[in-house]
Amino acid sequence: MKVHVTDLKPGDRLLTDTFNSVGLHILPGGTVVQRDEISLLIRHRVGHVSIQAGGLLQYGEELGHGLDIEFDEVIMNYEATFLEALSQGCFTPALVDATLQPLLETLDKQKDVVSLLLLLDREDIDTYQHSLQVGLLSYYIATWLGHSKEECYRISRAGYLHDIGKSQISLSILNNPGLLSPAEDAELRRHTDYGYDIIRGSMKDEAAALVALQHHEYEDGSGYPAGLGKSELHPYTEIVTVADIYMKLTTSRLSRPKQGLVSVLRQVHEWGFGRLNGNVVQALTGHLLPGFVGKTVQLSNGETGTIVMNNALDIFKPLIKVNEGYRDLSRERTLTVEEVLV
């Protein structure tokens, strides 16, 4: 059957040789395409290809290995969207919807958000993976805040696309693990403007475009590109910004070691008093922390145990079962939960 290259999935097999518009041979028939081959076809602006019918992975599998495969497919499709924006300055919104909607329908059945975040917690997170993380967490936060089903999807899509402007930034800047020069940092910050223009030129969703423009703005006016204050931020932006910061802080960087989910949640909680929207932060902490009950955690003294009860008066000081005994962190104030292990 014939499909557009942006609809290809890892494991699809090409039926015939593939050529670009000027007759250059790109891939031979029989090739089993993976992410690299799909990216190659997109770079050469190949439109449609013929593949063997059947054998495509379906959505709706349970949390675990099956859902992990779905995430890989979504990440690959985001890469296709990213490369399309890179080469053409716009993207196909139908691919975004066809990718994101089925996944969110699957995740509606997944109530253990902590396990989901642990599944998404990978080494070497790139722009594609981070965008998926932010889109999914934005969806859950929007749900917890009581937004309608349609709004939750639009907020998730805005989170999924918030960094699309990075498609216009040089790879030498995006992949630089060290400190950027002032000129490089200024160029990187322009990804918010690029994202706004790309989304406006691709789809009729002004809110998503504003999220791309504003997701580095903070309520106290300390953000960029315009130093906006609380009253000037779109409500969707305030959700995506919290999701963006939370997921970014759980990722290791050269200047900052990887932090555990609870440590990051504690930091985001503190930023909810002036820098980030307090209601959004409370929705995140209020719904994630109960999900830590029953999880194995590591304490700041190196011990491991299981959270058995949260403390209503101090949400970051739960009761922990360690071996045959218990540690009440509300009494042992120097002890903290450093990492969720499983």
- Say if residue 113 is in the same domain as residue 155: yes
Look at 10 and 319; give whichever has higher pLDDT: 319
Answer yes or no: are the C-beta atoms of 174 and 189 closer than 8 Å: no
- Residue 114, token pair as written in the block: 């902590």
The more confidently predicted of residues 112 and 289 is 289
Both 153 and 165 in one domain: the answer is yes
Whole-number pLDDT of residue 65: 46
| End-of-domain residue from the set 284, 304, 321 | 284
CATH code of the domain containing 10: 3.90.105.10
Token pair 């499983």 is found at 342
Position 61 scores a pLDDT of: 38
Instruction: Say if residue 139 is in the same domain as residue 258.
Output: yes
Q: What is the pTM of this model?
A: 0.77
Based on the domain organization, do 117 and 244 belong to the same domain?
yes
The pLDDT score that the predictor gives to residue 53 is 54
Whether residues 178 and 198 fall in one domain: yes
CA gap 11, 8 in Å, rounded: 9
Greater confidence, 339 or 283?
283
Question: What value, to the nearest 5°, has the Cα angle with vertex 125 and ends 123 and 127?
Answer: 175
User: In this predicted model, what pLDDT tens digit does every residue of 159-193 receive, in sequence order?
Assistant: 999 999 999 999 899 888 788 999 999 999 999 99
**79/128 same-domain check:** yes
230 and 122 assigned to the same domain: yes
- State the DSSP string of 161-209: TTTGGGGGS-HHHHT--SPPPHHHHHHHHTHHHHHHHHHHHH-S-HHHH
Domain boundary among 243, 262, 284: 284
pLDDT of residue 255: 53
Q: Give the residue from 238, 256, 284 where a domain finishes.
A: 284
4, 103: one domain: no
More confident residue, 256 or 263: 263
Q: Are 327 and 320 in contact (CB under 8 A)?
A: yes
> Tens digit of pLDDT for each residue in 271-311?
999 999 999 999 999 888 877 788 888 898 999 999 998 88
Shared-domain flag, residues 98 and 15: no
Q: Taking residues 257-276, what's their average pLDDT?
A: 85
Positive or negative, the CA dihedral 74, 78, 81, 83 is negative
41-58: per-residue pLDDT in tens? Answer: 877 778 778 786 543 333
CA distance readout (Å), 317 to 67, 262, 265: 32, 11, 13
pLDDT averaged over every residue in the chain:
85
Average pLDDT over residues 232-251: 93
Task: Verify that 150 and 91 share a domain, yes or no.
Answer: yes
The whole-number pLDDT of residue 199 equals: 98
Q: Residue 138 and residue 157: Cα distance in Å, rounded?
A: 9
The pLDDT, as a whole number, for residue 81 is: 93
236 with 298, same domain: the answer is no
Q: Do 69 and 37 sit in the same domain of this protein?
A: no
DSSP string, 154-172: HHHHHHHTTTGGGGGS-HH
Query: Which range of residues forms the domain containing residue 211?
Result: 60-284
Instruction: Report pLDDT digits (tens) over 311-325.
Output: 878 888 999 999 989
Q: How many domains does one find in the chain?
A: 3
CATH number of the domain where residue 83 is located? 1.10.3210.10
**294 Rama sector, left if φ>0, alpha if ψ -120 to 50, beta otherwise:** left
Percent of the chain with pLDDT over 70: 86
